[in-house]
């Protein structure tokens, strides 16, 4: 059952925090990184990188669209001469048209060279996104059928583009199982030990533009 998204919105911790040229969007305050005991000492789990795109190539990238509603999408590498990455030289870019059908528009995602990432013990996903202001979308994560994961797909809460590079932080417990795609024979648990794909779906009837993605981490 989809969980209710609680948005923190106070004067000191607004949902959208702006700092110079970037912002941060959070859905519930992410818990502090889990502490594990080792030889009598507490140790923080280090963040795990899913992709920063600095190899200059997308792995296992794909896109899909509501073509009946005129939607389309391509998921490609950025062009450094015209697309400014959040960090480094490269980011990923979707050139999208969300079509005219308000039911749904288009989506895109990619994998990693290893086939999956083990994010065990981490609490949330952090992604830097530069999406057209006001565009609604969500992040999705697909489990690989490996390393204890069983191929289920998971969708996050609705998010909104800011028109500039913004960090979107979504706790894992805000994701709900996709009952239309992915394995329906799994354990109904988000198995962070084998995350194979991270992607994004844009709602329909929102126009067209470029959707830039960079620095995907599990923390």
Residue 201 lies in a domain: yes
- Paired residues of 103 in beta bridges: none
Residue 6 lies in a domain: no
Can you tell me the distance from the alpha carbon of 191 to that of 143, in angstroms, rounded to the nearest whole number?
Answer: 7
Whole-model pTM: value is 0.82
Residue 77 lies in a domain: yes
Range of the domain at 166: 16-29+46-177+190-218
Residues of the chain where predicted confidence (pLDDT) is lower than 50: 1-22, 26-38, 40-42
Residue 40 lies in a domain: no
Residue 8 lies in a domain: no
Residue 4 DSSP code: P
Q: Name the domain count of the chain.
A: 1
Residue 138 lies in a domain: yes
CATH of the domain at 150: 2.60.120.430
pLDDT at 43: 65
Residue 110 lies in a domain: yes
Residue 161 lies in a domain: yes
pLDDT at 90: 98
The DSSP line for 37-75 is: EETTEEEEPPPEEEE--TTS--SS-EEEE-GGGT-EEEE
pLDDT-above-70 percentage for the chain: 80
Contact 63, 108 (CB under 8 A): yes
Can you tell me the distance from the alpha carbon of 96 to that of 143, in angstroms, rounded to the nearest whole number?
Answer: 25
pLDDT-above-90 percentage for the chain: 79
């Amino acid at each position: 059952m989809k969980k209710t998204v609680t948005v923190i919105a106070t004067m000191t911790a607004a949902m959208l925090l702006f700092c110079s040229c970037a912002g941060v969007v959070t859905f519930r305050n992410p818990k502090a990184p889990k502490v594990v005991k080792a030889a009598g000492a507490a140790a923080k789990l280090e963040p795990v990188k899913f992709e920063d795109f600095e190899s200059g190539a997308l792995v296992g990238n794909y896109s899909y669209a509501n073509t009946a509603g005129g939607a389309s999408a391509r998921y490609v590498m950025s062009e450094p001469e015209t697309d400014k990455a959040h960090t480094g030289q490269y980011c990923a870019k979707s050139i999208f048209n969300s079509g005219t059908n308000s039911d749904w528009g288009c989506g895109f995602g990619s994998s990693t060279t290893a086939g999956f990432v083990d994010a065990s013990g981490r609490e949330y996903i952090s992604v830097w996104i530069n999406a057209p202001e006001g565009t609604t979308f969500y992040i999705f994560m697909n489990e690989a059928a490996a390393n204890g994961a069983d191929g289920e797909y998971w969708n996050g809460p609705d998010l909104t583009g800011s028109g500039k590079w913004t960090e979107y932080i979504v706790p894992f417990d805000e994701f709900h199982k996709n009952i239309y795609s992915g394995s329906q024979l799994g354990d109904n648990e988000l198995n962070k030990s084998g995350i194979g794909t991270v992607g994004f779906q844009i709602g329909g009837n929102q126009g067209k533009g470029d959707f830039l993605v960079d620095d995907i981490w599990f923390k």
